[in-house]
Each structure stands twice: as structure tokens, then as C-alpha cells.
Structure 1
């Protein structure tokens, strides 16, 4: 017997010996439907407890006009002691009610919603993030006639107050561990906030509540996946530069943090399974061939499995792929046609 001292060897061996218990392996529509009901129930169980629902008490705190779009900075309440600031973008000269899309930011620095809505306030770093990641998809979609909502996640943007008090520690990890102490998790809390944001978007008179979509890059793609998996008000969604395998990005690369996962989820499902909870609703996956954080080989492996889910659900045509020659960024090559088609 060879002695094993290092943790990497242990965790990889554990992964190989304990495949996800609810990994999809069916072929028929009945098998898919039964699997999805079981896995969604398990995911919700893992994410609990969610906060109690309270009135949104939404208010507009700022308005501006730019890029042919009306901007409203709004604040709404998602839970006791929790308010969320967001940019609402309403395109000019669009027939209302129009479809609405919640546009979720990734890590991309500390700026949260601002680069997604193309609000740089003269800050060079935000302008650079917009250019480097093609990050302003909230504005790009608004210019195409969608009403978009760009909210801050917990610990980002205006919700970052006190974030740096941990010195060189990763604030996402510290905040995540804090929630674990109470039996909560940060991903579930952000998903709850995003669900309430979707509700706010649906409540706006400019928005058709039956035509709601979701999109996000990186951590935003993670958020888009979880929101769409558990909230069927989302009629079409896009996951940008996130589809991969837990084995690759979490166990091999360690390319994650305390804001990005639900404890216990890999016991039951891989990322492709979680994306499969979106079926039969339309889903667009974007993957950059040069994305070092989410290597294309793992993305292709996950997508191939996701295809089997959509095939079993008999909606293969509703699964779109944009595999583009770029890095960790929003492509947009198919996104506008995708949302035009389904919303």
C-alpha cells in the first residue's frame, strides 16, 4: 500500500469513487421529467433556508438618459434588512410592454452592476472591464428593445461596503463562510435576491411578465444557471463562460470561491445536470475557446452531456451553443437572435 498524504490525491480519488447520485443518464421524456422533478427538489433542499418574503418597497433614486436609453437607479427590498440597488434600462421608442431580461454581473472587479449597464462615471477601470469582457450586455440588450435590470450581488458594487475589512482575504470566501456558520449559503441568498429582482422586473408596467429572460457572464453565468433552474418564470436564459465540470474548475483548478457554489451539490449533480434543470426552456451556452479559467475541453464535455438532457426532453432545438474564438468574455454573436426568437 502506498501512503497518501496530499489532499489533491484524496479529493480526486473521492470524486472518482463517488459519482453524482442524480447525474442524468436517461433517454426518454418520461425519464427526463422524473429526473428533473427529483433533482430540482433536491437542489432546493440544499439551498434552504431561503429568507422570508417581504414587500419589495421599490423606489427610484436616480434617473439619467444616455445611449438612447432611459436609466433608472432603483432600490428594492428582498428580505429583512436587505436592500438591493440596481440599474433599470428602458429603451426609447419601444412598444410596451416589452420583454424583460435580468442581467447578472460576474466578479469582474468590485464594480457589480455598473459595467453591465455601461455606467462608468469616468472610472478607467470600469471602462477597461467593459472593453475587455464586452461586459455591457445590459445596455446592448436594451438597445435591442429589451427592458433590462442589472442588480448588485451581495458583496459587490454598492453592496461592497466593509468588503475590504478582511485585509488580503477573499471577501467572497469570508462572506460565504459566515453564511455557513448559520446553515445558510451565499449562492442561495444571491439566488433569492435575483428571484426577487425578477419579480421587480415583472412588476414594471413597461415589462411583459410572461416574457422574462436571464443572462450572466462568469459568476453571472453561475447565477443565471441557478436562477433559471429554480424559477420557471425565466422563459429563456443564457449562461456565458461558466459551463464546465466541477472536476475541472473546482477540484482541478480551484477556480471558484465562497459565492459560487451550493454545499453538497456535487454529491448529486454535475454542472451539466444543473443546466439541465432549465429544460425544456431555451438555453444559450457561450464558451470561449481561449478561456483559461474554463477550458474548452471541459466545456465541450459538459455540453455533450447537456445535449442528452435536451434530447430526452425532446427539445434539442431549444439548446443553443456559441463556441467563439475568444477568452473569458461575452460574445453576443447569437445572444440577440436567441432572445429575439424566444422572448
Structure 2
């Protein structure tokens, strides 16, 4: 018998075109879905109290579609924690915290306390980005794009907690048992359980707050969250859904491909609340967003559009100063200088210590 044969490269363009078609098709459908549901986010902007009350249902909706309710369906044990003293330096006392949020599940993080004496410290939860880890964000090793942000926060008077998120860290290079695709593998397994890795991360963070805010050295009314890159994006989610966060700093974390496509991190959760609406859910609390002028991975124009849309809600509430947008002369990095200055000027705790 004689069979037809052909070099596989002959049909390569067909496979690539089929891939591009599918990508365009899904992106187009998601864009239509976002536009169709644009009017579903209608919080009460007639007063601050009415606005905060009206956000409750939107938070519950967002949590439901990410699968958060699966994690809280059964009674939860009390949160317990163990800590290990690491060191003291000229800036901080350093500890490793292992907070057991559920049987067999811990939230690990570095905990830094200022060397300066105060009755209580405001708390900043500091989130690393993809490929990061608490040790990188706390500048334990060689310089990186976090630019000593955690240490600078400690010097400004904050206690700082830096939890570990599920990424293969650049700090380990190739010397780790964690596979490169670890996050995708964990996400797929979480989906089989009708939840998501984003929901699990939020769950761990919230349960950690239960412990941190009960510590005697923490001023529980002055709590914020900040992050770079994915950590910046997740700081927006965390602040929007967790009212105990009173302020937020998002650095280089506006995950937008273009003004009409929020798809790859928002719609994939099934949520019809898009990025500018998520930012609006932080109001009336303070939200600071900074973007690098030369950040090749996060083009400015889509982010500017998102900020302009989110700003409408803050303006309608009469608090435009609570959404502060900064563009800095830099790349994909934690700038923080102007953000921290603005934050410190806005916090009431400075007047009370």
C-alpha cells in the first residue's frame, strides 16, 4: 500500500490560524459579555453610608463566582499561629509566622516590627508578585524590583506582614521541587473542587488577619494592603472584598490588555464585575495606584482608561482624593516614594501617636 505523506510544517499555518481564531472568538464573546453586563454594577452613590451598604451584595456575588463559599461551608477551627524569631537589624525585628487557617493549611509569611517603640503599630500586608517570595520582598538577598519596599514601610512606622503566594520563586532559580507550571496545576485542581486559587489566597489572607489584628502590638483600625505586579492586582481584590483593609497601594498591577478586554483574570472567574468596578468597591477607603512610565508589560493607556472609569464613583461620592493615581519614572518596580508620602499624609494614626 502507498499512503500520502506530507511534511508537518505544511499544515503548521492552519493550526496557528485555528488557534488565533479561537483566541479572537473567546475574547470577542467576553468583550460582549462585559458590555452586556455593564449596567449590573449600580451601587448607591447618594451617600457614603448607602454606598457601603450597597456593596455588600456585590462582594458576596464576587466571592460566590470565585468559589469562596466552598471554603467556608463547614465550621472553621480557631486560628492558631507559631512564630520563629529570625533576627534584628537596624530597622526591624524579624519573625517567621506560620498561621494555621484550617487543619493542614498554613499561611506562611515574614513579620517585621519597627525597632522604634510605640504603643501600637499600623499594619501593612505586603504582597509579592509572580515569581516572588516574602524573602525577596523583604530584601533579604540581592537588590530587586521591590526596591526595599517592606523595609521602607517599617521605617515609616508600619508593622509589615509579607505572606507567601503560590508561585515558583525566582529566588530558587532551578533548584526547587516546585514545577514551573505549579500555579496552573493548583488552579486546575481547585476548579475541580468548584473554587479557585484566588479564592483560597483570599481565604488564607482573611484568616491571617483574624490572628494579626488580635495581636496586642497592632492598631486594628489602621490596616492596609500593598503589592507589586500580581501582588498589586491581588491587593485590589483584597481591599475590595475585605472591609478591614482601610487603604491599598497597587503598584504595576492593573491587569488590562485593552480598555474593552478584562478577560484573562476577571471573566475567567465568571465575574461580571470588571476592574474599574472592583476598584470602585474600595471606596470610600483610600486606594493608591502607581504605574511605571516604562513598564513594558503594563501599557499606560489601558490603565489610564480604567482609572478614569473608577474615578467617576469616587467623584460621585464627593471623595475624589481617595483614588490617587501616580505615574512614576521607572519600569516594573515598586516605586512607593510618592505613594507612601500620600498615604502618610492621609492617615489619622499619625495624629494620634
Shorter-chain TM-score range: 0.7 to 0.9
- Number of aligned residue pairs: 318
Match of 2:243 among 217, 221, 232: 232
C-alpha displacement of 1:201: 2.2
Structure 1 residue 138: Cα displacement: 1.6
Q: CA deviation at 1:151?
A: 1.1
SS of corresponding position for 1:18:
helix
Residue aligning to 1:123: none
Q: Partner of 1:196 in structure 2?
A: 207
Q: Aligned residue for 1:53? A: 76
Partner in structure 1 of residue 60 of structure 2: 41
Offset of residue 246 of structure 1: 5.8
How far apart are residue 193 of structure 1 and its match?
1.1
Per-residue CA shift, 1:14-60, capped at 9, x if unaligned? 13422252555789436955763442221121132224533222111
| Secondary structure of residue in 2 paired with 1:75 | strand
Q: What is the aligned partner in structure 1 of residue 165 from structure 2?
A: 153
Structure 1 counterpart of 2:330: 326
| Change over 3 Å in CA distance of 1:22–1:53 after alignment to 2 | farther
Normalising by structure 2, we get a TM-score of 0.81
Q: Which aligned pairs between 1:113-152 and structure 2 lie closer than 5 A? A: 113-120=134-141, 127-128=142-143, 130=144, 133-152=145-164
Contact 1:46 1:262 in 2 (8 A): no
1:184 and 2:195 are equivalent in the alignment: yes
What runs of 5+ residues in structure 1 fail to find an aligned partner?
A: 121-126
1:212 to partner: Cα distance = 0.7
Instruction: Indicate the residue corresponding to 1:9 in structure 2.
Output: 24
The residue number in structure 1 matching 2:3 is: none
Structure showing greater radius of gyration is 2
Cα deviation, residue 308, structure 1: 0.7
Q: Contact conserved, 2:45 with 2:313, CA < 8 A, in 1?
A: no
* Structure 1 residue runs of 4 or more that deviate by more than 4 Å after TM superposition: 22-28, 30-35, 163-167, 246-252
The CA deviation string for residues 214-235 of structure 1, in whole angstroms up to 9 with x for no partner, is 1011111122111111111111
1:29 and 2:46 matched = yes
Structure 2 stretches lacking a partner, 5+ long: 1-16
The 5 A counterparts of 1:213-292 are 213-245=224-256, 247=258, 263-265=269-271, 268-292=272-296
Instruction: After superposing the two structures, state which structure 1 stretch, 200-209 or 26-35, moved more.
Output: 26-35
Give, in angstroms, the shift of residue 326 of structure 1.
1.4
TM-score by length of 1: 0.83
Which structure ranks higher in relative contact order (CA pairs < 8 Å, sequence separation ≥ 6)?
1
Are positions 1:337 and 2:349 aligned together?
no
